[in-house]
Chains A and B, each alone.
Chain A
Amino acid sequence: EAAVTQSPRNKVAVTGGKVTLSCNQTNNHNNMYWYRQDTGHGLRLIHYSYGAGSTEKGDIPDGYKASRPSQENFSLILELATPSQTSVYFCASGDAGGGNSDYTFGSGTRLLVI
């Protein structure tokens, strides 16, 4: 079954440390996305990618980098983690785009920065 798998499921990081969140999809979708979910803000787009080697900035990219080394994998990197980045992060994959798009979401990664 096609899926989006995120790892780790939970992560505790120290302020100033580097954090990498990983996402793997078996949907063979070209496009992948990273969102964060916070109470009062809903889901906000951080970075997205059109395919291997591409990354694009979403609405809130500051403090985050993204990497898309292959069709299947899309990582979110926090070079210097801060407590304000404590959140739940969701990865998603999407097909060609437009009205007939299908987006599949992972189960989320809960990140606590202390």
Chain B
Amino acid sequence: AQSVTQPDARVTVSEGASLQLRCKYSYSATPYLFWYVQYPRQGLQLLLKYYSGDPVVQGVNGFEAEFSKSNSSFHLRKASVHWSDSAVYFCAVSRGYAQGLTFGLGTRVSVFP
């Protein structure tokens, strides 16, 4: 069965600093991977997704992620964070054709001025 591990429950960064959020997945076949962001009392919004090709994928608002098959990882990065990036970030892997997603527990990011 597929699984997703986000080892950092909370991350605190200063505004303007870089950010990396870690994600490790377990999946027997070719993984389809996603990063979502959740702002307080809102639903999930897609940041980016990967299913093939260039292992570095670009997303919205300056986010990018790098897929590594050898490390079973899909880490999210942003070069310079803004206070508005404070949110919870979820990594997810496809469960199989049209069967939805399996999510990690999320990482809460707090950006301080």
Q: In the complex, how many residues of chain B place their beta carbon closer than 8 angstroms to a beta carbon of chain A?
A: 27
Partner of A42 from B32, B46, B106 at Cβ < 8 Å: B106
Nearest CB of A to B3, in Å: 11
Q: A30-B98, A45-B102, A96-B98 are in contact. Are A102 and B46 (CB under 8 A)?
A: yes
Partner of B95 from A45, A50, A92, A96 at Cβ < 8 Å: A45
Q: Is the CB of B100 within 8 A of A92?
A: yes
Partner of A99 from B32, B46, B95, B103 at Cβ < 8 Å: B32
Q: In the complex, how many residues of chain A place their beta carbon closer than 8 angstroms to a beta carbon of chain B?
A: 30
CB of B17 within 8 Å of the partner chain: no
The closest CB in chain A to the CB of B4 belongs to: A42
Q: Is the CB of B106 within 8 A of A98?
A: no
CB of A33 within 8 Å of the partner chain: yes
Q: A90-B43, A107-B42 are in contact. Are A58 and B105 (CB under 8 A)?
A: no
**Docked CA distance A98–B99 (Å):** 9
| CB neighbors of A among B72-113 (8 A) | 90, 94-95, 97-106
Instruction: Please report B residues at the A interface, Cβ cutoff 8 Å.
Output: 30, 32, 34, 36, 41-46, 49-52, 90, 94-95, 97-106
Q: Can you report 18 residue pairs joining A to B where beta carbons are below 8 Å apart?
A: A31-B100, A35-B103, A40-B105, A41-B105, A45-B95, A45-B101, A48-B99, A56-B99, A58-B100, A97-B97, A98-B98, A99-B32, A100-B51, A101-B32, A101-B98, A106-B43, A107-B42, A107-B43
